Amino acid sequence: MTIKLPAITQVPEESIAPLNPRHQVQVVPRPGRHRRPMTATKTQKDKASKAKKVLLTALTVVVLLGILVTAGYFIKQLIDSKYFFCKSAVKFIPIDQACDGKNDCAGGEDEITCLSTFTVNTTFPVRLTSARHVLQVYNPGQGWRSVCRDDWTEQHTQTACKQLGYTNNPQSSGVTVDKLIPSMKTGPFTAVRPMTGTTPIHEATMDRAVCRSGSVVSLSCSDCGQVGSQDRIIGGTDAFIEDWPWQVSLQVGGNHVCGGSLVSPRWVVTAAHCFSGSKKELSRWRVVSGRTYMSTLGGSYVDRIIMNGNYDAAQNDYDIALMRLSSPITVGVARKPVCLPPKAFGLAAKSTMAVTGWGYLEENGKVSPSLQKASIPLIDQSVCSSPIVYGSAITQRMICAGFMEGKVDACQGDSGGPLVHFTSSRWHLVGVVSWGVGCGRERRPGVYCNVEEMLNWINTVIEKNP
């Protein structure tokens, strides 16, 4: 039987000839070069998912950083409220040991940045007087003299206003002698000597029996006390900082302690009693300005706190202090100084006053979260010092304002804040919230430090601490 074998097909050897015989270019393989692997094209959904993950990661990092920064801020506030850090010795001491008269840090570091006191025993030689803001200069031998407009120049205006403190677009005008208050009509008078524009005004004058020009100088030194528009304190209503831009909050450790009033871009008037106890170390304080709603963030640092050296805590007398900011505030709609009053302002009893602050809304209550205002009348000094009100507790350095039936009043937390009066298109700082019995009680009105009586002290402190 014959077995039929399958036919064997011969496979030709693999040709190394190129597929395209027309191009006889020899291809030399290059080591390390490989064909890129095939990958599937990313869909739009995949791209969105990856972007979402990146965004979530970024947000998480931001949130964590925010938490850390916030925690760090509050931890620092807590530490600062309890301890003073001695940089030279690199140690903490209890805050009560700072500014206690003893050197607890190396080199007395804890006794350097402290509150100071200042007592005036001289007369500041330049002032404005009466509701017409008449310029007067002082001579130890002859007392106060009104300055005639004779030979007065714009440079004299600049010089006089610079002596008086906050200056912005100073202007002068004339008031005829016959329109002065009776006690000023007959002098004494003085006038500047020619070519004395840059000489301090009180040194640039000579006596005159009468003013040749028939008028005296009236000064407007700045834009103080002007607001863009025109009552909670006890019985008050909500307010906006733009209407009371001189109002500031004085804070320690992020807590509101007292109110205050800007009287220049760098100086704040407040009450001396705000610095009782362990509140004498400067670095603890912040001055928050330009806010309607109470805020603990930000604020200006303080490099001077000067308390009136005659302050009597037992009698609440001379209850005034000045704080100097480390750097001036930027004057604007929500931050602007109030005007200091002229001497002999002549406010009559029942003149309308305004008091502002974040103090308690009721006796033994809570601090208000938003600024409050109240309109109250000035009370005659004889009434306030009568036996049925405060009696002999009222001194010449105090004024009273409010209603004898109570209800509307300043309260705790308003201390140091402004009592202001509006006249001649400007607000003037008449008083500083000082003390009272309770809040809004019958026959117990608010008592304020009389700013007019403190002008000599205020002007002297500011001049000596430029």
Positions annotated as catalytic residues are: 273, 319, 415
Structure tokens at 272: 């001396």
CA distances from 34 to 17, 18, 25, 283 (A): 22, 20, 20, 70
How far is Cα 163 from Cα 151, in angstroms, rounded to an integer? 19
Q: Which helix (H) or strand (E) holds 419?
A: strand 418-423
For 34, counting Cβ atoms within 10 Å of its Cβ (0-12 exposed, 13-18 middle, 19+ buried), the class is exposed
425: left (phi over 0), alpha (psi -120 to 50) or beta: left
Contacts of 202 by beta carbon, 8 Å cutoff, 6+ apart: 125, 126, 137, 138, 139
Q: Are residues 466 and 265 in contact, defined by beta-carbon separation less than 8 angstroms?
A: no
| CA-angle at 290, arms to 289 and 293, nearest 5° | 95
| CA-angle at 245, arms to 244 and 248, nearest 5° | 100
How far is Cα 77 from Cα 417, in angstroms, rounded to an integer? 24
Closest by CA to 255, choosing from 344, 333, 170, 366, is: 366
Q: Are residues 92 and 83 in contact, defined by beta-carbon separation less than 8 angstroms?
A: yes
Contacts of 66 by beta carbon, 8 Å cutoff, 6+ apart: none
Query: Which segments within 232-379 are labelled E, that is strand?
Result: 237-238, 247-252, 255-262, 267-270, 285-289, 302-308, 321-325, 352-357, 372-379
DSSP result, 434-459: EE-SSSSBTTB-EEEEEGGGGHHHHH
CA distances from 363 to 360, 388, 417 (A): 7, 21, 17
Closest by CA to 414, choosing from 231, 157, 284, is: 231
Q: What is the 3-state secondary structure (H, E, C) of 67-99?
A: HHHHHHHHHHHHHHHHEEEECCCCEEEEHHHCC
The strand pair at 116-118 and 91-94 is best described as: unpaired
Closest by CA to 335, choosing from 226, 441, 435, 256, is: 226
Q: Which helix (H) or strand (E) holds 191?
A: strand 189-192
